[in-house]
Chain A
Amino acid sequence: MSETAGLIAGILLLLALVIYVFWPENAFAAQRQKTQLDFLLERKEQLYENLRDLNFEYRAGKYPEEDFQVQRAHLEAETAQLLAEIERLQRA
């Protein structure tokens, strides 16, 4: 490819990319602002997953009964607190 042909190819590339970048389009992917409630709902999913893991590990024999009860009580208290907060925000 000669240097002139190379330059022409370069200019064509530039034109194509400029058209692509500034092509008029009004449908942008928009997203509402993430709220505290969204964050709490994500956290709820995580706590549920932690509870599922705990149950599974207990069934697998990794936790003695008393350890399991203590851990579960902790996680459930945390989840209850979170659910209460979610409910409060949803009511508001």
Chain B
Amino acid sequence: MAAFGSFALIVALALAAYNLLAGSLALRLIATGQPTRISPERLADTARRAGIAIFFAVSGAAFALVWATFANNFSITYVMEHSNRALPAAYKFAAMWSGQEGSLLLWAWLLAGYGFILRLTHKKDVKLYAYAGTILAGIQFFFLLLLNFAATPFSLFPGPTPTDGNGLNPLLQYPEMVIHPPMLYLGYVGFSVPFAFALGALMMRYPGDKWIKITRSWTTVSWLFLTCGIFLGMHWAYAVLGWGGYWGWDPVENASFMPWLTGTAFLHSVMMQEKKGMMKQWNVWLIFATFLLTILGTTLTRGGLVSSVHAFARSPIGNWFIIFMVIVLAVCIFTYILQRDHLKSEHRIESLVSRESSFLFNNLVLLTACFVICWGTLFPILSQFVQGTKVTVGPPFYDRVAIPIGLFLLLLTGVGPLLPWRSTSMKAIRRNFVLPVFALWATVLVCLFAGVRPWRNGVFNRGDFYALVAFALGASVVTAVLSEFVRGARVIAKQTGRNMFSSTVQLARRNTRRYGGYIVHIGVVIVIIGLAGSAFNTSSVAELGMHSKMTVGPYTLECVGFTQDSNRDYNSEYALLNVYRDGRREFQLTPAKRFYLASDQPETIVAIHSVPAWDLYVVFEGTNPQTGQPIIKAFLNPLVGWIWFGLAVIVFGTVLALIPSLNPAATSPLASTPRRISVEPPVLKGGD
């Protein structure tokens, strides 16, 4: 299998090189109209087919690696290092992306998959797709170059073949780890496609903004995958790492968050370009930046430039990524300088209180957040470069800066949809903002009454203050979004005689993108409420003998057993805890600690009992060597479940936004065709 896999990768590299060279040559010949022996269209088509063929070649290599893992072929170094005979089947599959070489192969395979779809659907706009396909081939060429020369997944183990492998890192032996990396990579890799379209459209001076409509689904799908990947990673960190949190501002977490921020900014500002022909330069740079940030994230992970639970060991592969980033940036700058006159805005922002300016603010805030996170992430590298000592920036820095930025963004989430395009009169402001403002202040009062008080005994509590603001703004945003639904549904109900529920469904179907987007906003509010709950986290730690008890929040935990177990993959120790509330036994939890035999590494198995109000999160910290009794740490984490529920709402809203809207003609009672517009050119009055 090693021979087949290596051969398939060489074939894929040759195909990518052909796609890049033949595609570029064909586009050049078409652009100049130079007569040639071979028709440029024919050449371009062979380049496109080579791009399609890359997918089959890379699939062959990916199949070979998975096959070798399942066949316990430890003559391949990668399989020996990341799998073993006792590894369950699902994790053998996940072993493919648990190491440097395998995850790069997954990256190349996903990129080939996206390229395959792009090149198959080229008839939508042959020339634009030819440009995008050729640019994508350049990216594919880079990754295949890495896989063939710098991070080869099929290198053979030097010396006699081992009888068993080292096994998979225990931290990765968790169900979500089977889907978290592919989701994240689908997001990362997916942004290559809008990048290829944006650069291609700029290179060919594509007339109009249709390329944005073509890439809209690609961008939204990539964003959705990246969002799911980030949240799955958070859930994994929460359930596996055993520190009671889900986000630690780890450099690699930040690396995934940065392209998410710029991608989110792009999804908003792109509406300005579609509707008003504005922010063309901004949008092109946003998508360039998003792609470059995905590569930066990969550089941080691959190059070992930063310390992280995710980062692979320092390797020369980081230099490859740095060179690639420099080349991509140079191409972007060069193309932009040559073609920037093509990106002139058709309109300007007329008022600071308008939908346009709310999008602009939204973008500025998202980019500020991105810059701050980028600064904090790269600070250890920069400080080492400048001062010679590595200064690490910790969570307090990010919390101090990112939380206010996030809350301001939440405010804009509510304000934006209420503002009309172009400009807003005071009368419109009064009309649209009454309910959300009322909801905001009502929530403040309810929270104060419920005990969320930023000032206690004259001392300011920042956590409570942020939580209070988050709850109040959240209520306001939800009210604003719901009022948009109710207003629209009322119009449909009036026109069609349908009930409100049916009218709401019809409303969403008429403009899936807008109303799907609103549902995403509700999801974001739910997530932020869940995050705000962390201000009220409590924890307790105790050594528990048989029938001894500890208390956390309203729960009392009683140790009723301490057992050991083993199987061929790991030994485990776990405590049996009866959980009481108000003196009544409610349920039992079994936090555990595992020791994996192949890798000789421990793993914490956290016991979580989740209800909408909070999570009871119990960790088996180990045993006291003197007494042999288990040490238990228990956390009461309010509202954590809202974060995962918020993700479900975001996914629902995004999927809705991806469904094509009903044709205006199909909604005849409401499809108000613009009244007849005079085609007489407006008369210019005055001096000219």
- Verify B674–A38 contact, CB threshold 8 A: no
Task: State A38–B431 Cα separation when bound (angstroms).
Answer: 40
Those of B15-42 within 8 Å (CB) of chain A: 15, 18, 41-42
> A92: which B residues are within 8 A, CB to CB?
none
**Interface presence of B310 (CB below 8 A):** no
Query: Contact at A21–B8, with CB atoms within 8 Å?
Result: no
CA distance A17 to B46 in the complex (A): 11
- Residues in B with CB closer than 8 Å to A42 are 208-210
Interface size class for chain B?
Answer: 35 or more
In the complex, whether B583 has a CB less than 8 A from a CB of chain A is no
- Which of A1, A25, A39, A87 has most B Cβ within 10 Å? A1
A3-B275 Cα distance, complex, nearest whole Å: 58
Measured CB to CB, the closest approach of chain B to A55, in angstroms, equals: 4
Q: Which residues of A contact B203 (CB under 8 A)?
A: none
Q: Which A-chain residue is minimally distant from B154 (CB atoms)?
A: A6
Any A CB within 8 A of the CB of B60: yes
CB pair B425–A17 under 8 Å, yes or no, is no
Q: Please, how many angstroms separate the alpha-carbon atoms of A46 and B277 in the complex?
A: 10
Q: Does B311 contact A (CB under 8 A)?
A: no
Asked if B41 and A17 make an inter-chain contact with CB atoms under 8 angstroms apart, the answer reads no
Chain A residue numbers with a CB within 8 Å of B428 are: 62-64, 67
Give the docked Cα–Cα distance between A69 and B446 (Å). Answer: 41
CB distance from B137 to the nearest CB of A (A): 13
Q: Does B680 contact A (CB under 8 A)?
A: yes
Q: Could you give, for residues 120-131 of chain B, a 1 whenever the CB lies within 8 Å of some chain A CB and a 0 otherwise? A: 001101110000
CA distance A4 to B3 in the complex (A): 8
Main secondary structure of the interface of A (DSSP, over half): helix
Nearest B-chain residue to A47, judged by Cβ: B674
Q: Taking each of B418, B422, B432, which has the highest tally of chain A beta carbons within 10 Å of its own beta carbon?
A: B422
Tell me if B7 and A30 are in contact (CB < 8 A): no
Is B679 within 8 A of A7, CB to CB?
no
Contact with B along A38-68 (1 / 0, CB 8 A): 1100110010111111111101111110110
Q: Does A89 contact B (CB under 8 A)?
A: no
Q: In the complex, are the beta carbons of B4 and A1 less than 8 A apart?
A: yes
Asked if residues A62 and B208 are in contact (CB atoms below 8 Å), the reply is no
Question: How many positions in chain A have a CB within 8 Å of any CB in the partner chain?
Answer: 59
CA distance A11 to B6 in the complex (A): 12
User: A31–B125 contact, CB under 8 A?
Assistant: yes
A79 to chain B: closest residue by CB: B677
* CB atoms of A52 and B664 under 8 A apart: yes
B interface, over-half SS: helix
Question: What residues of B have a CB within 8 angstroms of the CB of A49 in the complex?
Answer: 275, 664
Number of cross-chain contacts by CB at 8 Å: 155
Within the complex, the shortest CB–CB distance from B13 to chain A, in Å, comes to 12
Q: Are A6 and B4 in contact (CB under 8 A)?
A: yes
**B66 located at the interface, meaning its Cβ lies under 8 Å from any Cβ of chain A in the complex:** no
Residue B671 is within 8 A (CB to CB) of chain A in the complex: yes
Q: Which residues of B contact A1 (CB under 8 A)?
A: 1, 4, 67
Neighbouring A residues of B50 by C-beta, 8 Å: 21
Are the C-beta atoms of A62 and B125 separated by less than 8 Å?
no
Contact at A10–B11, with CB atoms within 8 Å? yes
Q: How far is the CB of A11 from chain B (nearest CB, A)?
A: 8
Instruction: Pick the residue among B41, B209, B674 that contacts A52 (CB under 8 A).
Output: B674
Whether A61 pairs with B674 at a CB distance below 8 angstroms is no
Q: Closest CB-CB distance, B123 to chain A, in whole Å?
A: 5
| Interface flags, B150-193, vs A, CB<8A=1, else 0 | 00000000000000000000000000000000000000000000
A13–B8 Cα gap in the complex (Å)? 8
Residue contact B275 to A50, C-beta cutoff 8 Å: yes
Assembled-state Cα–Cα distance A59/B494 (Å): 10
- Say yes or no: A31-B127 contact (C-beta < 8 A), given A17-B53, A25-B45, A79-B674: yes
Q: Is the CB of A67 within 8 A of B420?
A: yes
Interface residues of B in 108-142 (CB under 8 A from A): 122-123, 125-127
Most chain B CB within 10 A, of A9, A26, A29, A66, is at A29
Question: A56: which B residues are within 8 A, CB to CB?
Answer: 488, 491, 670, 672
| Selected contact of B672 from candidates A6, A20, A26, A52, CB within 8 Å | A52
CA distance A10 to B664 in the complex (A): 52
Does B268 have its Cβ within 8 Å of any Cβ on chain A? no
B678 touches A (CB below 8 Å): yes
CB pair B677 A80 closer than 8 Å = yes
Smallest CB separation, A86 vs chain B (Å)? 8
Are A29 and B420 touching (Cβ within 8 A)?
A: no
Known: A42-B208, A48-B674, A67-B428. 16 other contacts (CB 8 A): A10-B3, A17-B53, A20-B49, A21-B15, A25-B45, A28-B42, A29-B126, A35-B207, A38-B207, A53-B511, A55-B672, A60-B490, A76-B677, A80-B681, A83-B677, A84-B681
Chain B residues packing against A (C-beta within 8 Å)? 1-5, 7-8, 11, 15, 18, 41-42, 44-46, 49-50, 52-53, 56-57, 60, 64, 67, 122-123, 125-127, 206-210, 274-275, 277, 418, 420-422, 424-425, 427-428, 431-432, 487-488, 490-491, 511, 664, 670-674, 677-682
User: What would 25 A/B residue contacts be, using CB atoms closer than 8 Å?
Assistant: A1-B4, A4-B3, A6-B3, A6-B5, A10-B7, A13-B57, A21-B18, A29-B45, A33-B127, A34-B125, A34-B207, A35-B207, A42-B209, A49-B275, A50-B275, A56-B670, A62-B432, A63-B420, A77-B682, A79-B674, A79-B677, A80-B677, A80-B678, A80-B680, A80-B681
Name A's B-contacting residues (CB within 8 A): 1, 3-4, 6-7, 9-11, 13-14, 16-17, 20-23, 25-26, 28-31, 33-36, 38-39, 42-43, 46, 48-57, 59-64, 66-67, 71, 74, 76-77, 79-81, 83-84, 87
A-B residue pairs, 3 tightest by C-beta: A10-B7, A6-B4, A6-B3
